Structure 1
Amino acid sequence: MTVFHPVEEEIEAPAKPVDVAIEVRGVTKRFRRYHDRRTNVKELFSPRRARVKRHDDFWALKGIDLDIPRGKTFGLIGHNGSGKSTLLKLVAGIHRPTEGTIVAHGRISAMLELGAGFHPEMSGRDNVYLNGSILGMTRKQIDAAMDDIIAFSGLEEFIDTPVKVYSSGMYVRLGFAIAVNLEPEILIVDEVIAVGDEEFQRRCFDHLYELRRRGVTIVLVTHSLGLVADLCDEAAWLDGGKLKAVGPSREVVDQYLSAVNRREAEAQPQPQPENNDAGVPADETEGRTPRRGSGEVRVTRVDYLDGDSQARPFLTTGQPCTIRISYQAVEAVPSVTFGLGFTTESGVQVAGPNSGYGEAAFAVQPGEGHVDFTLDSLPLQPGEFLVTTAAVDKGHPYDFLDRAFVLKVRADDVTEPGLVKLTGNWSLGPSVP
């Protein structure tokens, strides 16, 4: 059991339930941000300089209370600068909290930064011994794990080479191999797996699954919300150094996504009631995208409306919505088919719905108007899509704007792989002996 406390004297850790691996109580962490640095003796003793405040306090964590269950995989999420990595470094004993206590019930193995704890002049093999001794392992234990570490890292050819010549990917491979093969009881991982190649990442996740099966407590920081939802049992959301939510991983991820969507919407210019201005006028796209057609009917703008018919800067996966095409007609046109095209930024065509031909076509009168394409549930997954608009009559284009508009799609919950979300019902058939 490892205890970290902000004061110097030894404090005996209170007995805690066996189902808690890490206990965080009232933890606050303050850093000082210096505005300038004195570079000579004259500046050091200058009265004028002494009166100028040279630093201010930055509170990276503010009163965090958290229990991480034993044998579970626990995720920490939040935007950059929210305090996730700081909390991990406090748990690992790299920093000491300004206030509060952290009690870890078990030996901690940490993978926080590229090459953390590596000596650049030493070989990879010697760094394995160095890191193992830091983690409290005996040489006999390290010798027993050495072959597995080398094999897992895939650095057989370079294990006796000084690590100063390693690439960033080689650093990660060796560091992760050490962290997971030296019998950790608590494993701490801070967004470093993403640096490795695809094959190594798969190997890492397979090994993490094996560690989970063996009852190792894993604390993971990552910006991959899908990974948190799929891999983690529970999660905590940090925002501005404060704990915003903790609980089942998918519930916490959904709360975080909703907050991110709300902030993004608030940061966008709000639509004015008189013109419902949340879309893009077509005249702002001219000169940047091909436009063709005879011009009797011209698209003037595209707006994105939510289920309450309110204009929004983005739409949400799985939610009802309306895509409104505004147009202007210079004369009566008896048969107009309106169409939309959705294309990814890489050029993949996703869908191309239209309003129908023949009897299903619209008769358009002179003046301004709009047509709506309404969906009960938006199937597009989060991302940005280029939108094409068309007003045609059996192949004759009145107006065609190719990829002239941008549709932003966001999600309120964890998304699936792919461009679209397929809805359906799952059922389990009877087992055959």
Structure 2
Amino acid sequence: MSTATPIVRVQDVSKRFVLHKEKSLKERVLSAGRNNAFREDFWALRNIGLEIDSGSTVGLIGPNGSGKSTLLKTIGGIIQPTSGSVVRRGRMAALLELGAGFHADLTGRENVYLNASILGLSRTQTDRYFDDIVEFSGIAEFIDTQVKFYSSGMYVRLAFAVAVHVDPDLLLVDEVLAVGDEAFQKKCLDKIASFQKEGRTIVLVTHTLNQITDLCSRALVLARGSVVFDGDPTDAVSVLRSGFQTTIAADEENARRTEPEPEPAPAFDIARVESIVVAGDRDDKSGQVVVQPDRPLTIDVTVDARTQLDEWGIGVHVDNPFGQVVVGTHSDLVKTPIPSFVGKKTVRFTFSDVRLGGGEYRVTSAVFGRGSQELHRITDGATFTVRPTATSYGPIGAAAAIQF
């Protein structure tokens, strides 16, 4: 049990937004004061409870729409929870969205004083820090230009420069660093590292997962407004990359049971992808195919052709849980003779030296006809899991060694 003093305490916090379904102003006027047919409750956060210790760096990760930014804004007091409470102590600085705390018609100089006052600095204090803020931002030549003429990168430079010079006890950062160029990102990360050495508290939302493992002492994975994992950053990244299917499988299964049976797929005219099979060991508990990171990745795709295919092609690609293609190929790239056939034919794809990192992956395949016209596609037709190596982590598996 940690003996550090919490700087943030989130107690049973839920946040509801009301979604309006009216498609026009006329519908909104006519539906005013009537029933809730045009309204829908969306719970962005559900019963969140956590404490953040002073001096820690906490990462919030999860898919889009999972509630990360809403939770960060709730911690920062920008959004009030529908139920529950947030207790916070110390001076806070927040970078929650591009341009927050800035006025477009004011100059950069004027916005420094405006933003600093919002963050709790007096004019005298801002005078003392002003030169350092401008130097850190690197936009001295534009400091007397209206910020409405700034690029997104210039916005972030100035906002971050102000935030880190107000002497915060708690710094909240929501993905905005991704907007800056590489050199400025490095400067920001170096500043965050110096904050850590000084014992300041940082809460970070990012989709750059190596920032989670490199910077954070703790990470939370969110899904559908709930915390599905809270602990070691490396484990959190593995949970996120696996798609945390086991955590929400029960809800999805119950939803499927109440859904009507899908209609049969329409009959195909020329050819279709009938099945995708990934070679590997099958886990006895989950039933998932497990592929070892140091072995070739073998995928068998069966094509069913109703008429003879003389000019055709086929492709396959593997996606991570974010929908990003990690590896793929098609018959135009691999110069192999393609035989004509009718009926069913199984095509084997073999990827050597892939070395995928730990996590769950999905396989998509498509068959093409004359002129590269797509005849049929199966998206996410197969899934498999790669167990992380014992000596490394990340999207690429490797056998690591250290020499002294």
2:307 is the counterpart of 1:307:
no
Q: 1:325 to 1:122 in 2, by over 3 A?
A: closer
In structure 2, C-alpha distance between the alignment counterparts of 1:51 and 1:100, rounded to whole Å: 30
In structure 2, C-alpha distance between the alignment counterparts of 1:369 and 1:58, rounded to whole Å: 45
In structure 2, C-alpha distance between the alignment counterparts of 1:196 and 1:82, rounded to whole Å: 24
Q: 1:133 to 1:304 in 2, by over 3 A?
A: same
Aligned partner of 1:323 in structure 2 is 298
Q: Deviations over 1:114-157 (max 9, x none)?
A: 10010111111111111111111111221121111111111010
Aligned partner of 1:129 in structure 2 is 113
In structure 2, C-alpha distance between the alignment counterparts of 1:181 and 1:248, rounded to whole Å: 30
Aligned partner of 2:19 in structure 1 is 33
Secondary structure (helix, strand or coil) at the match of 1:80 reads coil
Q: 1:111 to 1:325 in 2, by over 3 A?
A: closer
Q: Does structure 2 conserve the Cα–Cα contact (< 8 Å) formed by 1:306 and 1:320?
A: no
Q: Does structure 1 conserve the Cα–Cα contact (< 8 Å) formed by 2:58 and 2:217?
A: yes
Q: Please, which of 139, 143, 152 is the counterpart of residue 155 of structure 1?
A: 139
Aligned partner of 2:399 in structure 1 is 423
In structure 2, C-alpha distance between the alignment counterparts of 1:138 and 1:326, rounded to whole Å: 67
In structure 1, C-alpha distance between the alignment counterparts of 2:16 and 2:217, rounded to whole Å: 30
Q: Does structure 2 conserve the Cα–Cα contact (< 8 Å) formed by 1:380 and 1:409?
A: no
Unpaired stretches in structure 2, ≥5 consecutive residues: 254-270, 303-317, 319-324, 335-344, 366-378
2:37 is the counterpart of 1:51:
no
Q: Please, which of 4, 24, 30 is the counterpart of residue 10 of structure 2?
A: 24
TM-score when scaled to structure 1?
A: 0.64
Q: 1:191 to 1:143 in 2, by over 3 A?
A: same
In structure 2, C-alpha distance between the alignment counterparts of 1:185 and 1:317, rounded to whole Å: 45
In structure 2, C-alpha distance between the alignment counterparts of 1:264 and 1:156, rounded to whole Å: 50
Secondary structure (helix, strand or coil) at the match of 1:157 reads helix
Secondary structure (helix, strand or coil) at the match of 1:259 reads coil
Q: Does structure 1 conserve the Cα–Cα contact (< 8 Å) formed by 2:278 and 2:384?
A: no
Deviation at 1:88, TM superposition (A): 0.9
Deviation at 1:384, TM superposition (A): 9.8
Deviation at 1:158, TM superposition (A): 0.3
Q: Does structure 2 conserve the Cα–Cα contact (< 8 Å) formed by 1:302 and 1:323?
A: no
Q: Does structure 2 conserve the Cα–Cα contact (< 8 Å) formed by 1:345 and 1:385?
A: no
Aligned partner of 2:307 in structure 1 is none
2:161 is the counterpart of 1:168:
no
Q: Does structure 1 conserve the Cα–Cα contact (< 8 Å) formed by 2:48 and 2:226?
A: yes
Alignment size in residue pairs: 333
In structure 2, C-alpha distance between the alignment counterparts of 1:85 and 1:317, rounded to whole Å: 35
Q: 1:372 to 1:222 in 2, by over 3 A?
A: closer
Q: Deviations over 1:339-373 (max 9, x none)?
A: xxx998799xxxx9xxxxxxxxxxxxxxx999997
2:89 is the counterpart of 1:105:
yes
Secondary structure (helix, strand or coil) at the match of 1:144 reads helix
In structure 2, C-alpha distance between the alignment counterparts of 1:344 and 1:83, rounded to whole Å: 26
CA RMSD of aligned residues (A): 4.6
Unpaired stretches in structure 1, ≥5 consecutive residues: 1-15, 268-282, 286-299, 328-341, 353-367, 388-405
Q: Please, which of 194, 198, 204 is the counterpart of residue 210 of structure 1?
A: 194
- For 1:227-306, what aligned pairs fall within 5 Å after superposition? 227-260=211-244, 303-306=277-280
**Could you tell me which amino acid in structure 1 is paired with residue 401 of structure 2?**
N
Secondary structure (helix, strand or coil) at the match of 1:236 reads strand
In structure 1, C-alpha distance between the alignment counterparts of 2:88 and 2:247, rounded to whole Å: 35
TM-score when scaled to structure 2?
A: 0.68
Q: Deviations over 1:159-193 (max 9, x none)?
A: 11111111111111111111112111100000010
